[in-house]
Chains A and B, each alone.
Chain A
């Protein structure tokens, strides 16, 4: 699938498995996740909290906490423009290669803009830091000019004033714009946005989404957008990976997924989005709670909550991916049965 539609793959995750060892035992957060990110494409990752979205994105940049263990067979393959193909999993914590990747070719936008800035530095210090680390622009006027340009690009009304402020003097939305500006300063190949709008008001949320979409298209970068909100993903993503309990259960283009969802979980998720045309019916909700990752259910992880469970099969063995059409893939025994019956 790497050469489909002529797009070039910039980042590929293969068989990613992550466990966290905690006092209570091992927690399996991510289990056999694979996907390829193509140039100029926005990939949305959706799932409830605890589905392993954040662990997946953090493993790309080696940001997982100390107690995380990544499976030996896992690979995160990045095509570095100068250094060629690098497996990011194999890089150690203090590997010097990181300084050429983190913040340079792969940037990240975080969930809580307020907590993601240290209160003791001014906004300009963050810009200068990134320039010192990656761009090597020494001229003072040039640095300022370049930063202010970026700040106005992300829609900061008074870039000059904002430049000298401390983070705690800005609103949450402004801080998120600043974080996006810093992330895009180096024109990265990949931007990972981990729930960048979840901590913001709805109006600001929409503004930030529009901004990200626009900048992504202008700069031609790839975007991984993580959210628990399918409504948000629908507005921004080209392709979607739906995750449940550390596994990708369905993958496809946004059109395929919204038009013809296959996996019961995807159907449940889509049913939970309020829609104008269905305003007279009740919203459906996903029944039950996500099981504790401490004792993952055997077989298909969804079988404890699945409305279409096939007893004796779903709770015993784990389904494989079934390609529906093009990149649309699903992992479900029930869908397999349907397909067989349909054919």
Chain B
């Protein structure tokens, strides 16, 4: 496969840094090689941005993401502006929303009212939130009088879409990360046992893994998700979902770990350690793991998208995370109705774009890492 990078121009390492180059350790080299990939850098930037949004979701969102606003159902986006026909303002403002009734259906229709300005203030106090355990109610921006502003409009229940996007990004990425972690631990135990001991143990584990993989992933884990009791709290469901995602991801990872174990365990230096009387634990931790950790990291990065996709798919059909937890999948639930998409396509396209961008970022980072993980090769 040609890498995404070859579509663009490849940057070349400057020869003046020759000395640093030869003195650098493995990870410094990997990092240097990684930074040469434009798309890899872009991927890191996108994910970094998303992670920032997710972590500081509470601080960045002006409105409680689960707060209903019956006066602004499917409201249009209130874009901050500095000037309009009524003149320029140093303080950014948005147009207020007025709700009319459709004369025929009597449905409320939320519209922007250009004659009414709502000014935006910074570091205002609002709803309470928690970031990394710290409680606060200061928000990056908002209104003085507690009026709600909807940068990206609202959904069919009048919830602020901008705030919901921020929270969803955080939840989806974090659940993916936890899922990857669990998959890794599972894979390390199962693949490690299989590869390190080999023989019958390996054979049985491999056959069982193959059989489990025969059942289609999403339908299988939908079954597990369907079994979540209705009275579970959102924290319990969140935890159960990470377990399911871990189950989704472990077979591929475990296969990789197994094959690495099988390949390396007969190397001379491992044999030497064994002859010297090192214990199983020591051989695994000191000799085997470090030698293929880079492969594992690449596989972890590549398995991230599967986690996100599975979470999104399960939550989308209502078998995964449930409100009040907000994830990309939960957000897309409102896109299930073609009527809502037709009226406000952004409820579909904005989450869809975020999912797309996040997955693409993981893929290009994975590609760049795979390229960079062998810095001693092609060092021209």
Task: Using CB atoms and an 8 Å cutoff, list the residues of chain A in contact with chain B.
Answer: 23-24
Q: Which residues of A contact B380 (CB under 8 A)?
A: 23-24
**B3 → A minimal CB distance (Å):** 13
Q: Which residues of B contact A24 (CB under 8 A)?
A: 380
**For chain B residues 352-380, which have a beta carbon within 8 Å of chain A?**
378, 380
Looking across the interface, which residue of chain A has its beta carbon closest to that of B380? A24
Q: Which residues of A contact B378 (CB under 8 A)?
A: 23
A24–B377 Cα distance when bound, in Å, is: 13
**B223 → A minimal CB distance (Å):** 42
A23–B371 Cα distance when bound, in Å, is: 15
Looking across the interface, which residue of chain A has its beta carbon closest to that of B10? A23
Q: Which residues of B contact A23 (CB under 8 A)?
A: 378, 380
Q: Can you list 3 A-B contacts with CB-CB less than 8 angstroms, sorted by A residue number?
A: A23-B378, A23-B380, A24-B380
A54–B380 Cα distance when bound, in Å, is: 26
A176–B105 Cα distance when bound, in Å, is: 86
**A22 → B minimal CB distance (Å):** 10
Interface size class of B (residues with CB under 8 A): under 10
**B152 → A minimal CB distance (Å):** 45
> Which label, helix, strand, loop or mixed, suits the secondary structure of the A interface?
loop
**B138 → A minimal CB distance (Å):** 54
Q: Top 3 A-B pairs ranked by shortest CB distance?
A: A24-B380, A23-B380, A23-B378
A217–B380 Cα distance when bound, in Å, is: 49
A22–B167 Cα distance when bound, in Å, is: 49
Looking across the interface, which residue of chain B has its beta carbon closest to that of A22? B380
**A294 → B minimal CB distance (Å):** 9
A24–B13 Cα distance when bound, in Å, is: 13
Looking across the interface, which residue of chain B has its beta carbon closest to that of A294? B380
Looking across the interface, which residue of chain B has its beta carbon closest to that of A25? B380
**For chain B residues 183-214, which have a beta carbon within 8 Å of chain A?**
none
A90–B380 Cα distance when bound, in Å, is: 35
**B9 → A minimal CB distance (Å):** 13
A24–B378 Cα distance when bound, in Å, is: 9
**For chain B residues 310-327, which have a beta carbon within 8 Å of chain A?**
none
A24–B12 Cα distance when bound, in Å, is: 11
Looking across the interface, which residue of chain B has its beta carbon closest to that of A24? B380
**B376 → A minimal CB distance (Å):** 16
A193–B378 Cα distance when bound, in Å, is: 33
**A66 → B minimal CB distance (Å):** 15
**B295 → A minimal CB distance (Å):** 24
**A295 → B minimal CB distance (Å):** 12
A263–B380 Cα distance when bound, in Å, is: 35
A246–B380 Cα distance when bound, in Å, is: 23
A23–B3 Cα distance when bound, in Å, is: 15
A326–B378 Cα distance when bound, in Å, is: 48
**A217 → B minimal CB distance (Å):** 48
A23–B378 Cα distance when bound, in Å, is: 10
A28–B200 Cα distance when bound, in Å, is: 54
A115–B368 Cα distance when bound, in Å, is: 33
**B6 → A minimal CB distance (Å):** 10
**B345 → A minimal CB distance (Å):** 44
**A81 → B minimal CB distance (Å):** 45
A23–B12 Cα distance when bound, in Å, is: 12
A24–B379 Cα distance when bound, in Å, is: 10
**A39 → B minimal CB distance (Å):** 46
**B2 → A minimal CB distance (Å):** 12
A24–B380 Cα distance when bound, in Å, is: 7
A303–B378 Cα distance when bound, in Å, is: 28
A210–B42 Cα distance when bound, in Å, is: 63
One digit per residue, 1 when the CB lies within 8 angstroms of any chain A CB and 0 when it does not, for chain B 117-155 equals 000000000000000000000000000000000000000
A342–B378 Cα distance when bound, in Å, is: 50
**B361 → A minimal CB distance (Å):** 26
**B268 → A minimal CB distance (Å):** 27
**B225 → A minimal CB distance (Å):** 46
**B378 → A minimal CB distance (Å):** 8
**B10 → A minimal CB distance (Å):** 9
One digit per residue, 1 when the CB lies within 8 angstroms of any chain A CB and 0 when it does not, for chain B 322-351 equals 000000000000000000000000000000
**A264 → B minimal CB distance (Å):** 32
A23–B380 Cα distance when bound, in Å, is: 9
A187–B301 Cα distance when bound, in Å, is: 59
